[in-house]
Structure 1
Amino acid sequence: MTSKRKGKLSLDQMALISPSTKDVTMEASLGEFLSHCQRLGLTKNTVINYKRECSKLIHHLKLNAGEEALEVSLELLHEGLVTKPIERGLKNSSINVLIRANKVWFTWMKKKGYIATNLMESVSLLKQRKTTIQTLTKEHIKALLKSIDTSTYAGYRDYVMYNLMLSTSLRIGEVVELEVQDIYFNKRSLIVRKGKSWNDRSVPLTRDVEHLLKNWLAIRGESDNNLLFISVNGLKLNAKTCYQILKNQGEKAGT
């Protein structure tokens, strides 16, 4: 006799197709979560950040719990994400980065059914002191640009980069990712393809910046590297290094 099939699976049937949380380790869960993030199209830096910050919690749990159980105590979580980092002298902003990353991971695990309760909902972000961002005056900007030695390859490159940033409000991380083909002189604009929101956007250029970019391309010359701004050796520039150069140049100019 043929048994009647129901539209909704029973608990026993669900158990056949659903992985047991006892067989899923923290590291396996994190690996699956990171793959999920990549499929969503999150930026490479975002995925790297999740991996780094969530791995810190796994390390803490291994040392203090002796296992990789997905169900952990709130006390252990708070110790690994707040107490210990504070003892190591981490700033509240850095600790909040750690907390935020793990909140996203635990929320994903809850949706997957890997954990019964999302204890990260009980872990609050730390208060951060609001700092006043000092803006540059026209005099400061003139002094900064004037202090750059444009008689060298690197100097002129930095001069063009900073003029471009000041004119368009692009971030350093966006500027170092620009490629030669992203510049459209016929439309006097450029395309930012790897912005923070991961959406392409068109940015208009002033005539002065357009002129500087044309001069820069002539000085840059041909290269196997398609990036717009490259090192003397034709390599990609590091955003942090560029920021430090800009900071040092500002101090030199007294801004």
Structure 2
Amino acid sequence: MKISEATRQYLNAMNAMGRSPHTVKGAKSALKELNNFLYHLDVETIEYLNHDTLMHYREELAWRLTPKGTPLTSRSQSELLGHLRAFCRWLVDNDLLVGDPSVKIPNPKKTHPLPKAILEPREIQKILKQPDMSTATGYRDKVILDVLYSTAIRRAEVANIKLQDLDTDSGYLVIREGKGGKDRVVPLGESICQLIDTYLIGIRPDWINSHNVPYLFLNRFGQGVSPMAIWFVVNKYAKAAKLKKPVSPHTFRHSCATHMLHNGAPIRHIQEMLGMSHWRPHRCTRALRLMN
């Protein structure tokens, strides 16, 4: 059977199975790409649809350019290969192929894009100056922002800090069950330790339920704040600072790592702080060039 005929039958079968028009349209477009590629290889019948041929197709996708002249993203490549695998499975299920030639076709590796924004130190300081420290909420938010920037920990890790995890006398914070379920120790500078101590002594005790809840940061109901609340804190004061860049807790994390690298911190030290054994310093290179 010709591949073009098999493709037509497959698309009809998808419609008969009640697949969404969007899914069918995607499959039709992807298989058209495949058919065009196979045509140039003089592969027209399904018996010649083998692993080597499909690997050639997978390699061609890796080098293919979009109409704008940019490479296909790994996501786009994976979507095309996903439709290919579904088509091959259908061929096997309908006894049109003995074995599935797409089984060992690998997906492209996921890319690690640069963060959308890296803040300069002056921009960070502009955000840190926004909370009104004469109010309990403003003081708490100031501590949250300073902890985010000085430690480069994730927003969920900030929300999960418990009182027992802090040692401001020795200057460290224990992150328990971070990403990947790993614990790690993060250093705290003298200024952030003093800020936390003032918060613990003069601000936090006035919060509802503060003596019964183990978390460092509490909300107005006397419960530990959520990771989303940490995002709202950052977003609120970034808007107040009138920065044009998109800012999130992750922006603080990447900015801290970039500034540490810029100031000569050892890469291994930054990796341990971030809790990322495979952190790639070259992801910050462009930001460093811009800062210089």
TM-score (norm 2): 0.45
Q: Distance in 1 between matches of 2:103 and 2:148?
A: 38
Counterpart in the other structure of 1:179: 162
Letter in 1 for 2:242: G
* Contact 1:153/1:232, CA 8 A, preserved across alignment: no
Q: Is 2:194 the counterpart of 1:220?
A: no
Counterpart in the other structure of 2:56: none
Q: Distance in 2 between matches of 1:207 and 1:180?
A: 18
Instruction: For structure 1, list consecutive stretches of 5 or more residues without a partner in the other structure.
Output: 1-63, 67-74, 84-91, 97-115
Classify 1:132/1:204 alpha carbon distance in 2 versus 1 (closer, same or farther; 3 Å). closer
The percentage of aligned residue pairs carrying the same residue is 26
* Contact 2:216/2:224, CA 8 A, preserved across alignment: no
Letter in 1 for 2:236: N
Classify 1:126/1:199 alpha carbon distance in 2 versus 1 (closer, same or farther; 3 Å). closer
Q: Distance in 2 between matches of 1:166 and 1:203?
A: 12
Counterpart in the other structure of 1:194: 177
Classify 1:232/1:133 alpha carbon distance in 2 versus 1 (closer, same or farther; 3 Å). same
Counterpart in the other structure of 1:145: 128
Q: Distance in 2 between matches of 1:120 and 1:178?
A: 45
Counterpart in the other structure of 2:250: none
* Contact 2:127/2:241, CA 8 A, preserved across alignment: yes
* Contact 1:177/1:194, CA 8 A, preserved across alignment: no
Counterpart in the other structure of 2:248: none
Counterpart in the other structure of 2:235: 247
How many equivalent pairs are there?
162
Larger relative contact order (C-alpha < 8 A, sep ≥ 6)? 2
After superposition, residues 34-49 of structure 1 pair within 5 angstroms as none
Counterpart in the other structure of 2:258: none
Q: Distance in 2 between matches of 1:215 and 1:165?
A: 17
Counterpart in the other structure of 2:34: none
Q: Is 2:194 the counterpart of 1:211?
A: yes
Shift of 1:160: 0.4
Greater displacement, 132-141 / 211-220: 132-141
Classify 1:122/1:155 alpha carbon distance in 2 versus 1 (closer, same or farther; 3 Å). farther
* Contact 1:176/1:238, CA 8 A, preserved across alignment: yes
Instruction: For structure 2, list consecutive stretches of 5 or more residues without a partner in the other structure.
Output: 1-15, 28-73, 79-98, 244-292
Classify 1:191/1:124 alpha carbon distance in 2 versus 1 (closer, same or farther; 3 Å). same
Shift of 1:128: 7.4
Moved over 6 A (4+): 125-129
Which of residues 156, 167, 184 is equivalent to 2:150? 167
Q: Distance in 2 between matches of 1:177 and 1:129?
A: 27
Q: Is 2:224 the counterpart of 1:236?
A: yes
Classify 1:248/1:122 alpha carbon distance in 2 versus 1 (closer, same or farther; 3 Å). farther
Classify 1:178/1:120 alpha carbon distance in 2 versus 1 (closer, same or farther; 3 Å). farther
> What secondary structure is seen at the aligned counterpart in 1 of 2:185?
strand
Q: Distance in 2 between matches of 1:129 and 1:209?
A: 31
Say which one has the larger Rg: 2
Q: Distance in 2 between matches of 1:178 and 1:239?
A: 11
Which digits, 9 at most, give the CA deviation of each residue in 1:178-202, with x for residues without a partner? 1000001332111000211311111
> What secondary structure is seen at the aligned counterpart in 2 of 1:191?
strand
Q: Distance in 2 between matches of 1:187 and 1:180?
A: 14
Q: Distance in 1 between matches of 2:162 and 2:217?
A: 8
Alignment RMSD (CA, Å): 4.3
Q: Distance in 2 between matches of 1:120 and 1:186?
A: 57
Letter in 2 for 1:147: Q
Classify 1:132/1:176 alpha carbon distance in 2 versus 1 (closer, same or farther; 3 Å). closer
Shift of 1:210: 0.5
Letter in 1 for 2:161: L
Classify 1:131/1:207 alpha carbon distance in 2 versus 1 (closer, same or farther; 3 Å). closer
Which digits, 9 at most, give the CA deviation of each residue in 1:70-104, with x for residues without a partner? xxxxx99x949x76xxxxxxxx97xx8xxxxxxxx
* Contact 2:143/2:195, CA 8 A, preserved across alignment: yes
Shift of 1:130: 4.3
Shift of 1:174: 0.5
Shift of 1:241: 2.8
Counterpart in the other structure of 2:3: none
Counterpart in the other structure of 1:71: none
